[in-house]
Copies of this chain bind each other. A is one copy, B any other.
């Protein structure tokens, strides 16, 4: 046999991305063979090579899309400037919302970096650094204005990112907590963490 009825390149590529992120998030990159991935898509392994030249290119592409999507989401959610507490709140809300909505690609992007060749790794890490820089800028402004009690901007930024990204490890919607609930609780903890004691506009303590 050959071309199947109703076959469509765009749909197939999207299906490969979706199944790829899901399977790799569940089982790990090395544990997902091209044959297994193809089976999940409903296609033969050779068909995958029409869309991605190698398995590693598929992984790389998933990560790039994830990071670009995250940066774009933040670019749209980010307040123009001003009050560091408001900006930090926007950052945390955007971060948690984005990562909960894309749990699979988040797992892939956080856990499978070691499977990338040096050049591809550098490319992904550059995007990640750009994103983290945004948080550090907020923390620095807050520390300088006295709004935050942060003595080590870099370390605090890493701690916050680890904490808020960690939500996808345990959180499942439809339980006792909604996404809104969880976001509010993490926001409260983040504000306390940076010593933002006077942000009453949003109700934080």
B-contacting residues of A (Cβ < 8 Å)? 26-31, 111, 114-115, 149, 151-152, 155-156, 158-163, 165-167, 169-170, 177, 182, 185-186, 189, 192-195, 205
Contact = CB atoms under 8 A, between A and B. Distances in A.
A69 to B, nearest CB: 22
Main secondary structure of the interface of A (DSSP, over half): helix
A168 to B, nearest CB: 10
Contacts of A26: 114
Nearest to A31: B30
Contacts of A177: 155
A24 to B, nearest CB: 11
Contact of A155 (B31, B156, B182): B182
Nearest to A196: B192
A186 B160 CA distance: 11
A27 B114 CA distance: 6
A160 B170 CA distance: 13
Given A28-B115, A155-B177, 14 more contacts: A26-B114, A27-B114, A30-B30, A31-B115, A149-B192, A156-B185, A158-B169, A159-B163, A159-B166, A159-B189, A162-B165, A162-B169, A163-B166, A192-B194
